[in-house]
Amino acid sequence: MKENNDPTVNWKKELLEWLKILLAAAAIALFINTCVIANTRVPSDSMETTIMAGDRLLGSRLSYRFGSHPQRGDIVIFKHKAEPGRDQTRLVKRVIGLPGETVDIRDNRIYINGSETPLEEPYLPEPMETDDRHFEVPEGCYLMLGDNRNVSADARMWEDPYVPETDISAKVFFRYYPGFKRVS
């Protein structure tokens, strides 16, 4: 077989090979970003000091697949219509109430299922100052609150305070900007 030494043909073959590689890389990146990881930027200070405004986070979309469910204390990315008249938006908050539980806020502390012992929350940057509230979390839903409770617009303010499990897209694991840090 005769070898083609025409530089135009070789250049075109090389360009075609690079295009194939770039398209394959883009398809893989799209698959990973859609099915495996969630990437988000935190716009507010509702989760300070655990997560700061402007932080970029990575979460696992696989964490709650295959029979696993969110647990109290997990930090999750979810979509929710937080304000009347607005479309759903992606939020980052901490899971406080699980399906079927009652959650009471009394004297600025959280009590689960009528317990006399308040929930331990070492991640709070300062004591919570809020009105007393009572929540009855429906089956299949969760109650979410921000860590920075005194400034967080969370379930305490939402018209519908409950987040269906189907709207939870990922469990947050890492902050990658600025700097790398495990989030919990």
The pLDDT of residue 149 is above 90? yes
Task: Give the residue-averaged pLDDT of 64-91.
Answer: 84
Please tell me the predicted confidence (pLDDT) of residue 85: 60
Tokens of 56: 């970029």
At a CB cut-off of 8 Å and minimum separation 6, what does 94 contact? 47, 50, 73, 74, 75, 76, 123, 144, 145, 146, 147
Which parts of the chain fold into alpha helices (H)?
A: 7-35
> Whose structure tokens read 């929350």?
121
**pTM, full prediction:** 0.83
CATH number of the domain at 39-182, out of 1.10.3720.10, 3.30.420.40, 2.40.10.10, 2.10.109.10?
A: 2.10.109.10
126 compared with 82, residue with greater pLDDT: 126
The DSSP code for 4 is P
How many residues comprise the chain? 184
Preceding omega of 49 cis (within 30 degrees of 0): yes
Task: Give the residue-averaged pLDDT of 98-111.
Answer: 97
Task: Give the residue-averaged pLDDT of 176-184.
Answer: 87
For the question of residue 46 being annotated catalytic, the response is: yes
Which candidate in 46, 63, 152, 171 is catalytic? 46
Cα–Cα distance measured from residue 91 to residue 108, given in angstroms and rounded to the nearest whole number: 23
> Whose structure tokens read 């938006």?
89
pLDDT digits (tens, 9 = 90+) for 37-69: 888 888 889 999 899 999 999 999 999 988 899
> Whose structure tokens read 């317990």?
115
Burial class (CB in 10 A: 0-12, 13-18, 19+), 75: buried
Please tell me the predicted confidence (pLDDT) of residue 154: 94
Tokens of 57: 């986070």
Task: Give the residue-averaged pLDDT of 72-81.
Answer: 92
Please tell me the predicted confidence (pLDDT) of residue 84: 58
Please tell me the predicted confidence (pLDDT) of residue 43: 87
Please tell me the predicted confidence (pLDDT) of residue 2: 52
For the question of residue 171 being annotated catalytic, the response is: no
pLDDT confidence bin for 120, thresholds 50/70/90: very high
Closest by Cα among 73, 89, 94 to 41: 89
Task: Give the residue-averaged pLDDT of 134-160.
Answer: 95
Which candidate in 63, 93, 152, 171 is catalytic? 93
Cα–Cα distance measured from residue 154 to residue 100, given in angstroms and rounded to the nearest whole number: 19
Please tell me the predicted confidence (pLDDT) of residue 119: 97
Task: Give the residue-averaged pLDDT of 140-144.
Answer: 97
* CA-to-CA separations, 31 to 67, 79, 148, 167, in angstroms, rounded: 22, 20, 34, 19
Please tell me the predicted confidence (pLDDT) of residue 97: 98
* CA-to-CA separations, 72 to 18, 52, 170, in angstroms, rounded: 47, 21, 14
The pLDDT of residue 3 is above 70? no
Please tell me the predicted confidence (pLDDT) of residue 169: 93
